[in-house]
Amino acid sequence: MALTVSVCQFAPSADREANRARMADLIAAGAARGAKLVVLPEYSSYFVDPMDASLAENAERLDGEFVEALTRSAGAHEVLVIAGFVEGTDDGRRVRNTLVAVDASGVRAVYRKQHLYDAFGQTESTWIEAGDLDAPQVVELDGFTIGMLTCYDLRFPEVARTLVDAGADVIVVPSEWVRGPLKEHHWQTLLAARAIENTAYVLAADHPTPIGVGHSAVLDPQGVTLAAVGTAEGIAIAELDRAAIARTREVNPAVRLRRYRVTPR
């Protein structure tokens, strides 16, 4: 049992319409190469650096233009799309950093970033409201169970562990991994660590340089990179194999042998 996937690396801007058009092109390109799952970065709907009050002005709801556009593209190409967007809140000032999994039927799962990037000189919490500790968000596709987390969540192993405890064998990581000293090293190391410790595939879609580090990638359950993008825009295509998960978990039964389970509060 196999699943072809595409991770897409692009630079969202302050032009929401242009972002939607670029995503439609990337989804079409991935589908043309056989992908049934297309992953797009964090903040795909709207992004400015540095962050400012325009985030709230350009935030959307789950029934807004961004999700509608994803749904149309997903339906047109018969794929599942996972992407990050700026979601409005009743607060009016801060927004949610939200992931949606969308297919032709509409929204399949929603995840709101739990760990905000208040580190390395950044203060995402000034503009973003943290998501609630809800039940893990997973979605089924062609015999695989796919879980979602966002960017800085990658540094917290319990987030990925909660997804795998809920049945995930694929972890999707839309990101805007900000550049800085050793940040490329952290990104690639943590992606491999989450794959190895959870014996799961990891699919990571980042922004390109100069703001992001790039290096979007698909890693197998042993932490080996199957496909990757460099530092410019592009897509990486890989095939996920259920048998590879089974083989890895047979020789490395760490997931089965965990003594402690992480559950949402």
Catalytic (active-site) positions: 42, 113, 151
Cβ-count burial 41-60 (b if 16+ within 10 Å, e if not): bbbbbbbeeebeeebbebbb
User: Residue 128 half-sphere exposure, CB side, CA atoms within 13 Å?
Assistant: 23
Distance between CA atoms of residues 10 and 216, nearest Å? 10
DSSP assigned state of 11: -
User: Residue 24 half-sphere exposure, CB side, CA atoms within 13 Å?
Assistant: 16
Distance between CA atoms of residues 208 and 54, nearest Å? 22
- Spatial CA neighbour of 43 closest among 9, 12, 64: 12
DSSP assigned state of 129: P
DSSP codes joined into one string, 72-97: HHHHHHT-EEEEEEEE--TTSS-BEE
